A and B are shown apart, each in its own frame.
Chain A
């Protein structure tokens, strides 16, 4: 069974600090990695995707991928109360071009 593991949290971070969210995956053949943000009662919203080892930056968000360690992370700089949400890590299943597997999510709380 392919797995995507995340710490469920809650992760509490003071406003203005860096929030660091982590994710590990079990299938070494996975090639694409996604971070979704889900506010309570809303649908998941794609915020970042990364396919290559290293860092990818988009505004206050940085995704980091280390395929050797099977580890992907999301950094949120200058955290705002509006960043409080559940963050879902998702990884493609190599045997299926269409299937991505979601982690159970990390609940992030930014305290003012």
Chain B
């Protein structure tokens, strides 16, 4: 009964390849996120979808393309992988309530991407 799941857990690939990471949540939340955590452990938001609509799109290279087929799934496709893309990518979900910022986010286990 995993709440937020991601696949794969580990991804090792060569520079220039294209890869995808999948995320699913069974919490009934309407908002999902992709975060990148670099080697210094800084957690930075990349994208957010609310009911399949893109609502946050931070300054991320356009090689990164999120896709949300429904509100329970959010995938991340990365084209032409570069060494600097090596990081842990976390998916998260939440049920945002009102405009007060009530936004408790729950994280998936992460995907460790290594680009060689």
A44 part of interface (Cβ distance < 8 Å): yes
Chain A residue at minimum C-beta to C-beta distance from B42: A104
CA distance A42 to B43 in the complex (A): 13
Contact-residue size bin, chain A (C-beta under 8 Å from the other chain): 20 to 34
- Cross-chain contact A96 with B56 (CB below 8 angstroms): yes
Mask for A90-110, Cβ within 8 A of B = 1, else 0?
001110111111101100000
Contacts of B108 in A (CB 8 A): 43
In terms of DSSP, what is the predominant structure of the interface of chain A? loop
Contacts of B50 in A (CB 8 A): 98
Known contacts A43-B90, A97-B98, A98-B31: A32-B41 contact under CB 8 Å: no
- Cross-chain contact B100 with A98 (CB below 8 angstroms): no
Q: A99: which of B42, B56, B102 is its contact (CB, 8 Å)?
A: B56
We find that the number of chain B residues with CB closer than 8 angstroms to chain A is 28
- Cross-chain contact B94 with A44 (CB below 8 angstroms): no
- Cross-chain contact B103 with A92 (CB below 8 angstroms): yes
- Cross-chain contact B100 with A51 (CB below 8 angstroms): yes
Chain A residues numbered 11-32 whose CB sits less than 8 Å from any CB in chain B: 30-32
The interface centre, meaning the residue of A30, A97, A101, A102 with most chain B CB atoms within 10 A of its CB, is A97
- Cross-chain contact A32 with B107 (CB below 8 angstroms): no
Q: B56: which of A31, A44, A98, A105 is its contact (CB, 8 Å)?
A: A98
Contacts of A96 in B (CB 8 A): 55-56
Q: A97: which of B33, B99, B106 is its contact (CB, 8 Å)?
A: B99
A86 part of interface (Cβ distance < 8 Å): yes
Q: B48: which of A31, A86, A98 is its contact (CB, 8 Å)?
A: A98
Contacts of B56 in A (CB 8 A): 96, 98-99
By a beta-carbon cutoff of 8 Å, the part of chain B in contact with chain A is: 31, 33, 40-45, 48, 50, 55-56, 90, 94, 96, 98-110
